[in-house]
Amino acid sequence: MIRIVLLFFVISMNSFGQVGIGTTSPETDLHIAGSALIQDELKTTELGSTNNTDINFKLITRLTNSSPLGEITKLDVDNLSVAPINILKYRFVDISRDNLEDIDLSFESSRYLIAISNFRYIGDPITKQNVSGHDRPSIGNFITRVFTATSFSNPSIDTWHIQIQNTYLDAATESDIEYEVTLIVYDKSYYRSLDPIEVNLGGSNTGNVSAPNIK
Amino acid sequence: MKIATLSICAFVIIFCTCTGFCFAQVDSGVGIGTTNPRVKLEVAGDAFLRDGLDIGIIENMEDEDTSTFLVQEGVDDKIKTLDVSNPTGTALGYIQEYIIRNPNEDWVYDLDTNISATAFVVNTISAYYDKELDIAIYSTVPNFSAYILDDTWHLTADFPAANNLDPNEQGTWTITTLIYSRDLSKQLGVITIPLSGSTTGASASPIID
């Protein structure tokens, strides 16, 4: 009896010249029924672009903690607890007069950047204050800002804090004032905080500074 | 004597034009430039897929993963990583704070940031002034904005109709801006909405879905 040994090749080609690896019926020019790993560079010149009607696309990321290094994954915000951009709406109620002096928002400043967007002042106004020896009343100075400072609950880290108040004048004791503010929380993995640019205008209302070094 | 029928499933013709060992095939897969492919196809070098690629299974990134973005860049159309942690590399966006000392009391009319308006978009996201102000009979609201003039972005900040209570005090405006590359954003133009004296109205969305 003659036994014929059949050799199954991992790689095969069909009559259209299409190559399959791990498949005997390739569906395109190169069809890999498995994963591919390219150690060096990948180039593709005829990559299609998304257009107006492509609505369900996800950003592509490359993992730096996979084994082997460089697994291609997709960023689905529904699968993450923190997205590149996160929107949070805050409403501060039951405030002492108009003074929201320092609220620790608890976002670590090493991981996030925060910006204020959409501010609403809801409630009683602050009365202008006459200043003795001065011909115009004071309106104080109303500040809305986020800033980094030591965390109230963990002094070893810095977190983002918020301040909303008139820093020179107070509303009447019985005032009912609420603040509504939208915060944009940026994940620092995707956005970079640049060094602040300082300039002294010398009393002028115009000036110019060098652009930051960004590409 | 029996003759077994033999059917051939596939055949392969391999042309090996590179020097050295260029192709290996093991049970687990094919290696190009490697004899030990870790996956179905491992290329120990560059690859050129002219018409792009479809990926059947692509996993989601998880919370604990660290990653970079992939972009296609340059005349050579290479796929590259966008590594934000590299302090001299690109990021999706930048936060830039401007500390403007001693303007004309509380008035910054025009600070030229010298940031190219063709390459970037600049938005002001918050601003505050630090000195006490006075005003006559009017009330006021803080006004701050970024605008384009002569192809660069400019900043303005002011409490209209108000001044420093003490004109000798030198105040500081702190303006936080967000800077995006034009590659990642679209300026959709100016939308003017005439309200004809009413307090409510509607506007069509400029975004065509």
**Minimal Cα–Cα distance from A161 to chain B, Å?**
14
Regarding an ipTM greater than 0.85, the answer is no
Convert B61-102 into a string of H (helix), E (strand) and C (coil): CCCCCCEEEEEEECCCCEEEEECCCCCCCCCCEEEEEEEEEC
pLDDT at B94 over 80: yes
Residue A5 contacts B, CB cutoff 8 Å: no
Residue A129 contacts B, CB cutoff 8 Å: no
Looking at every residue in chain B, the average pLDDT score rounds to 82
* Number of C-beta neighbours around residue A32 at 10 A: 20
Tell me if A41 and B93 make a contact (CB, 8 A cut-off): no
Q: Which residue has the higher pLDDT, A61 or A215?
A: A61
pLDDT, tens digit, 9 for 90 and up, residues A148-173: 999 999 999 999 999 999 999 999 99
Nearest to A197 among B4, B61, B96 (CB): B96
pTM over 0.80: no
| Alpha carbon distance A98, A92 (integer Å) | 11
Tell me if B95 and A194 make a contact (CB, 8 A cut-off): yes
**Using an 8 Å Cβ cutoff, are B77 and A49 in contact?**
no
Q: Which residue has the higher pLDDT, A9 or B152?
A: B152
Amino acid symbol at B94: Y
Tell me if A82 and B63 make a contact (CB, 8 A cut-off): yes
Question: Tell me, what DSSP letter sits at residue B107?
Answer: B
Residue A184, SS3 per DSSP: strand
pLDDT, tens digit, 9 for 90 and up, residues A60-101: 888 989 998 999 999 888 888 888 889 999 999 999 999 999
CB-CB neighbors (< 8 A) of B72 in chain A: 44, 47
